[in-house]
Amino acid sequence: MWILGLNTPPAGWHDTAACLIDGDGRVVAFSEQERHSRVRHAIAEEGSQPVDAVAYCLAQAGITLRDVAVVAVGWDDRQLFPGRFADDRHFLQEALGSSFDAGHVPELVRVPHHRAHAASSFYASPFTKAAVLVADGNGENESTTIWTFADGSEPVLHHSWPRTASLGYAYNAASVWLGFNHLNAGKTMGLAAYGRARGLEVDRLVKVGGGDYQLAVAPLAERPGRSTDDDLGRDYQRMLLAWRAVYSKVAGADGPTAPLERLHEDPAAVLVAYTAQRIVEDVMGELSRAAREAAGVEELCLAGGIALNCSANGQLPGPVFVPPVPHDAGVALGAAWTVRPPVRREGPISPYLGVAVGGTGDRAPEQETSGLARSEASVERITDLLLDHRVGAVAQGRAEVGPRALCHRSIIALPDTTDVHTRVNRIKDREQWRPFAGVTRPDYGSRLWERQEHLNRYMLGAARATAHADAVAPGVVHVDGTTRPQVLEGDEAPVVGAVLDRLSVLGHPAVLLNTSFNGRGEPIVNTSYDALRAFRKMDLDFLVLGDVLYEKRNR
C-alpha cells in the first residue's frame, strides 16, 4: 500500500510539498516543490502544484501514480472552497496538475490542517505520548490548537483558538512593517535579538494566564457557519492592517528609517521586531504549560510556522521536539501519517529524505568545469582548507527536508573569528546583522552551549552560548549571546562529521559554521547541477559534491 501526502493548492498556497509512505507508515521520500522549481516557497501561482516533488517521490519508490492507494492532503478544502470541486477526480486533477492519471483515481483523504501539523510532529518524535501545540498563521478556522497524541490512540483536541487570534498574523504584520516579505519571519527573529541584547523594555501586547491568551488586537467578530477562502482573505488583510497600526503606534513611525542592511541601527525597527518576538514568547510559554497539563505528560511537540521561531523554542523548559518540517510543507507528511501512522518508530525521523547526489531525481552537472581543480574529497584536504580560513560548500547524500541546512546542502567555515561572519553574509548577499548557526559533536557541544536534547537535532532552538563558545567560535554567537546549534550524533552527515572529528584529533575546536547552501532569494540547492551552478556564482573557495572536491584554481 502506498500513500501520497500533499500540501498543494488550492488551500496550500505556499511551501507545497509531497511525501510518500508505505503501508507501515515508513517515509520513502519527501520533497518540497521549491527545491525542484527553484522558486522559493513555491508560492501559489500557475505551476505551483508539487508536480516535480510528486514525480521524485514516485521515482524513488519505483512506482507510478497508479500504484498509489490514497492521496492525503493537509487541508480540508471543502471548508474554504465550498462547491468548487465537482468530485474527487476534479480536485486531484488540480492538486496533481500534470501528474494526474485520468485512468486511476486513488482514494482522497482531506485532513484538517492543524491535525496534519500535529501528526507531523508527534509521529516524527521519539515520544510514545506527548502534548502537541500547533501555532501558525491559520488553518481552516483556527490559528492555535492544543492536542494530546499517544501511540495506538486517537488524538484528542483540547483547545482551539480562531484564526483571528493568530500569532502568525501578529508576527507577519511586524515583518511587513519592517519591509520584509511576510514569509521572511526569520529575519524579524534575527533582528529581535538586538532588542534583547540592549535590554529593551517593550509594551506587552498580549495578556496570558489560565492557559489562554488575549492579543492587543481584539479578534474580529466570528461569522456564523463555515468560513470560506474569501472570508480568510478579508480577515487576514483586516488583521494585518490592525497590527501594523499597533506597531506604528509603538514605534512612533509607519516604517523603518534605515535601509534593510542597516535595520539593526534603527531603534524603531529593533523595537518593533522585539515587541513581536515577545508576543510569541509569552504565548508559547503559557500554552506549553497548558498543553502539558492537558496531556498529563512533560513531553511536548510543536508544529506550525511559529515552531520555526528558534528563540521562543529555546526558552521552553523540559523535553521539546520540533520536526525538521514544522511549516506548511510538513502537512504533506502529517496528512499521510494520519491515514497510516508509522508501525515502528526507532527514534526521531531522519531529515535526509530528498534527492540524493548521484541518485534518483538528481540532475547531473552540465556546466563546463574549466577553471576548477577536481580531486577526491579527502577529509584531510577539506580540513586543511577550512583551517586556512577558506569557505566551502557541501552537497552530499540525500537532501535534507525543511528550511534548515543540516550538513547535506550546507556552506561551512571555521567560526574562530567574527570576520568569517562578515564574509559568509557577503557570500550569501545577506544583511550583515543576520546570525549563523554552529555544528559540532555531542561531547564538545556541552562545552559550547546549553544542552538541548531534541531541538539541536534539526537546528530549531536557540541556546545560550558559553564563555568558551565566545572565545573559540565567535562567528556563530549572535548579538544576544545565543546560537542556533546543530549536533551530529553519528555518521548522518559523513563529510562534516569527519571534519569535526579530525579537527578534534588535531587539537582544534571541533565546531563549524553551518548555513544553507543557496544564494539570495533562492531555495537551498537540490541537485548536483544546482550545487555546481551556485558554487560558480558565489564567492566560495571549494565544493564537496558527492565524493569529489572542486576548488577554484584562482584561489
**Can you spell out the DSSP letters for 143-162?**
EEEEEEEETTS--EEEEEEE
- 166, pLDDT greater than 80: yes
Domain boundaries, the chain: 2-115, 164-320, 370-552
Mean pLDDT of 290-307: 98
Start-to-end C-alpha separation, the chain: 52
3-class SS of residue 337: helix
Confidence at 223, pLDDT banded by 50, 70, 90:
very low
CA angle 152, 303, 17 (to 5 degrees): 95
**Higher pLDDT, residue 179 or 217:** 179
Question: How far apart, in whole angstroms, are the C-alpha atoms of residue 449 and residue 462?
Answer: 9
Question: Is residue 229 predicted with pLDDT exceeding 90?
Answer: no
Radius of gyration in angstroms for the set of CA atoms belonging to the chain, rounded to a whole number: 23
**Confidence band (pLDDT; 50, 70, 90) for 380?**
very high
The answer to whether the beta carbons of residues 307 and 135 sit under 8 Å apart is: yes
Q: Does domain 370-552 have CATH number 3.30.499.10?
A: no
Structure confidence at residue 199 (pLDDT): 97
At residue 47 the predicted structure's pLDDT band, cuts being 50, 70 and 90, is low
Annotation marks residue 159 as catalytic: no
Q: Is the pLDDT of residue 224 over 50?
A: no
What pLDDT, on a 0 to 100 scale, did the predictor assign at position 491?
Answer: 95
Locate 325 and state its grid cell. Answer: 518540517
Mean pLDDT calculated for residue range 487-496: 96
The pLDDT assigned to 221 comes to: 45
Percent of the chain residues past pLDDT 90, beyond the cut: 87
C-alpha cell at 176: 511587513
pLDDT for 545 equals 96
pLDDT of 366 strictly over 70:
no
295 vs 128, 312, 525, CA distance in Å?
12, 21, 40
The pLDDT value recorded for residue 44 is 65
242-254 pLDDT, tens digit per residue, is 999 999 999 999 9
What span, in angstroms and rounded, lies between the C-alpha atoms of 406 and 486?
Answer: 8
Query: How far apart (Å, rounded) are the C-alpha atoms in residues 432 and 434?
Result: 5
DSSP readout, 30-93?
EEEHHHHH--GGG-SSTT-SSHHHHHHHHHHHT--GGG--EEEESS-HHHHSTT--SSHHHHHH
The pLDDT of residue 512: 98
What distance separates the 2 farthest-apart alpha carbons in the chain? 68
Looking at per-residue pLDDT, the higher value among 54 and 97 belongs to 54
Mean pLDDT for 47-76 is 95
C-beta separation of 116 from 338 below 8 A: yes
Check residue 368 and give its pLDDT.
65
Q: Count of CB atoms within 10 A of residue 109's CB?
A: 17
- The least confident of 36-45, 133-142, 415-424, 511-520 is 36-45
Catalytic residue among 14, 41, 114, 117: 14
In the beta sheet, which residues pair with residue 412?
392, 514
- pLDDT band at residue 231 under the 50/70/90 scheme: low
Q: What CATH superfamily is the domain 164-320?
A: ATPase, nucleotide binding domain (3.30.420.40)
Best CATH choice for the domain 2-115 from the list 2.30.30.40, 3.30.420.40, 3.30.2290.10, 3.40.1260.10: 3.30.420.40
Cell of 14: 505556499
16-42 confidence digits (pLDDT tens): 999 999 999 999 999 999 999 999 999
Does residue 91 surpass a pLDDT of 60? yes
Handedness of CA 112, 67, 14, 276 (dihedral sign): positive
DSSP 469-514: HHHH-GGG--TTSEE--EE--SSSSHHHHHHHHHHHHTTS--EEEE
CA pair distance 325, 328, nearest whole angstrom: 8
pLDDT of residue 92: 93
Find the mean pLDDT for residues 285-307: 98
Q: Do domains 2-115 and 164-320 have the same CATH topology?
A: yes
For the chain, the average pLDDT equals: 94
Tens of pLDDT, residues 417-475: 999 999 999 999 999 999 999 999 999 999 999 888 899 999 999 999 999 999 999 99
